[in-house]
Each structure stands twice: as structure tokens, then as C-alpha cells.
């Protein structure tokens, strides 16, 4: 059974940092592209970032480029999202998602985690 379990969310002041983690199990983590997707209160899903398997190439939404960094540790079957210079508009539920292939731009979403809440407020 595929499982994606996010952690690391919380309350942080504007300008602060958080690191989200996503522990994966039940599939060959290293073989699949992975992504972070968020949903702000009352809004739809927003794709945040993705990382391919193999070469580890990454991509970011314009709204987080230069502030967020996605990474993966295939030995630990874990996906990360380092979030710096957080803004109130980053407040959302953050979901970890796997793709159905090695490259996100030619794959569909596969499995999703349950999400971890990030709140940016003073």
C-alpha cells in the first residue's frame, strides 16, 4: 500500500522558515517524480514544486521561486520542502504527491498524503 505522510507544518511568523517532510512507503520512491501541492483556505489546489527521479531536476511555481527549495533523499524515501521568507499568502494545507512516472511534465499525479498545515501569521 502506498503511503505518503507529511510532517513539519506549524505556525510561523512572516519572514520565518519551515521545512516540510514527506515519508514515502509502499513503492519504489526513487523511480518516481514527486511534488508539493498546496490549498489555501477557500481556494483550489495550487501546484508548488516538483522534482524528477534520476537527475533530480526541479521546478517551482512563480509564487515560491527563490524562496522554496524541493529536495529528495532516495536512501531515506523522503521528500522535503524548505520554505524560507514565508509570507501570509503561503498559509495553506501542503500536500505531498507522487507522479505516475519519472518526469513530472509527462506524468499524472498518483498518490497523495493527508497534508500538513502551514500558517504564516504574526
Per-residue pLDDT tens digits for 55-106:
899 999 999 999 999 999 999 999 999 999 999 999 999 999 999 999 999 9
Neighbours of 26 (CB within 10 A): 12
User: What number is the average pLDDT over the span 19-31?
Assistant: 97
User: What number is the average pLDDT over the span 36-64?
Assistant: 96
Taking only Cα atoms into account, the Rg of the chain, rounded to an integer number of angstroms, comes to 13
Predicted local distance difference test score (pLDDT) of residue 67? 98
Q: What's the sign of the alpha-carbon dihedral 59, 62, 67, 68?
A: negative
> Residue 95 and residue 55: Cα distance in Å, rounded?
23
The residue assigned the cell 503561503 is 90
* Position 14 pLDDT exceeds 90: yes
> Residue 31 and residue 103: Cα distance in Å, rounded?
9
> Residue 11 and residue 19: Cα distance in Å, rounded?
12
Of 110, 109, 90, nearest to 43 by C-alpha is 90
> Residue 38 and residue 117: Cα distance in Å, rounded?
9
* Position 28 pLDDT exceeds 90: yes
User: What number is the average pLDDT over the span 44-48?
Assistant: 97
Predicted local distance difference test score (pLDDT) of residue 29? 96
Predicted local distance difference test score (pLDDT) of residue 54? 81
Quick one: cell of 13? 511568523
Predicted local distance difference test score (pLDDT) of residue 85? 98
> Residue 91 and residue 52: Cα distance in Å, rounded?
26
Amino acid at each position: 500500500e502506498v503511503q505518503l505522510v507529511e510532517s513539519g507544518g506549524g505556525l510561523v511568523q512572516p519572514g520565518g522558515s519551515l521545512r516540510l517532510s514527506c515519508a514515502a512507503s509502499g513503492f519504489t520512491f526513487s523511480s518516481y517524480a514527486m511534488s508539493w501541492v498546496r490549498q489555501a483556505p477557500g481556494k483550489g489546489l495550487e501546484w508548488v514544486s516538483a522534482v524528477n527521479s534520476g537527475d533530480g531536476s526541479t521546478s517551482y511555481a512563480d509564487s515560491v521561486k527563490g524562496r522554496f527549495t524541493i529536495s529528495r533523499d532516495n536512501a531515506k524515501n523522503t521528500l522535503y520542502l524548505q520554505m524560507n521568507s514565508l509570507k501570509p499568502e503561503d498559509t495553506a494545507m501542503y500536500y505531498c504527491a507522487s507522479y505516475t512516472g519519472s518526469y513530472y511534465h509527462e506524468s499524472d499525479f498518483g498518490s497523495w498524503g493527508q497534508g500538513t498545515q502551514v500558517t504564516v501569521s504574526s
